[in-house]
């Protein structure tokens, strides 16, 4: 879809910090991460909402594969998935959490301090190779 930022990322017109991909889905680091390792998982084919994605189950299975990589690379205490839809192209947020689940807020309210380009590249590579 024209003027869709995630379609442009999928098409390679806008760069991203890629952590995983297959024929149908792409996972990359959120540039405004709520925690270290916050990833977005998008379908390559445009869909407005997560529930509009064809092969909904397959999409979530891919997200789980990404989550396993995050777990291996970053050893979070737990991992959170959420969907919202502010950007109008389906995306699943996967957020590694580093505080005990019992005392964690429902979701982190503010982005962490931005990492440098170099740190983002290193982090993406570390997750990708896990």
Binding site for Zn ion (CB under 5 A): 1, 4, 6-7, 46, 89
> In terms of CB distance, is 6 or 25 closer to Zn ion?
6
> In terms of CB distance, is 41 or 127 closer to Zn ion?
41
Beta strands in 13-90 (DSSP E): 18-21, 25-29, 39-43, 78-82
CB of 65 to Zn ion, least distance (A): 22
Q: Which phi and psi (to 5°) does residue 115 adopt?
A: -85, 155
> In terms of CB distance, is 31 or 72 closer to Zn ion?
31
38 noted as active-site residue = no
Take residue 47 and report the two structure tokens written for it. 């869909």
Q: Which class for 116: exposed (0-12), middle (13-18), buried (19 or more C-beta within 10 A)?
A: exposed
Take residue 65 and report the two structure tokens written for it. 């594969």
Take residue 92 and report the two structure tokens written for it. 């699943």
CB of 95 to Zn ion, least distance (A): 22
Q: How far is CA 99 from the centre of its chain?
A: 19
> In terms of CB distance, is 1 or 31 closer to Zn ion?
1
CB of 98 to Zn ion, least distance (A): 31
Beta strands in the chain (DSSP E): 18-21, 25-29, 39-43, 78-82, 92-97
Catalytic entry in 38, 89, 91, 93 = 91
CB of 89 to Zn ion, least distance (A): 3
Q: Looking at the annotation, which residues are catalytic?
A: 91
């Amino acid at each position: 879809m024209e003027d869709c930022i995630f379609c442009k990322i999928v098409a390679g017109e806008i760069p991203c910090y890629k952590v995983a991909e297959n024929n149908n889905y792409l996972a990359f680091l959120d540039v405004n991460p709520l925690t270290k390792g916050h990833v977005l998982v998008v379908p390559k084919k445009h869909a407005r909402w997560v529930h509009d994605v064809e092969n909904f189950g397959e999409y979530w299975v891919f997200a789980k594969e990404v989550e396993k990589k995050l777990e291996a690379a970053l050893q979070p205490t737990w991992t959170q998935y959420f969907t919202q839809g502010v950007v109008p192209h389906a995306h699943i947020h996967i957020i590694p959490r580093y505080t005990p689940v019992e005392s964690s807020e429902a979701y982190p309210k503010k982005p962490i301090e931005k990492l440098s380009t170099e740190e983002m590249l290193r982090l993406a590579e570390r997750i990708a190779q896990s």
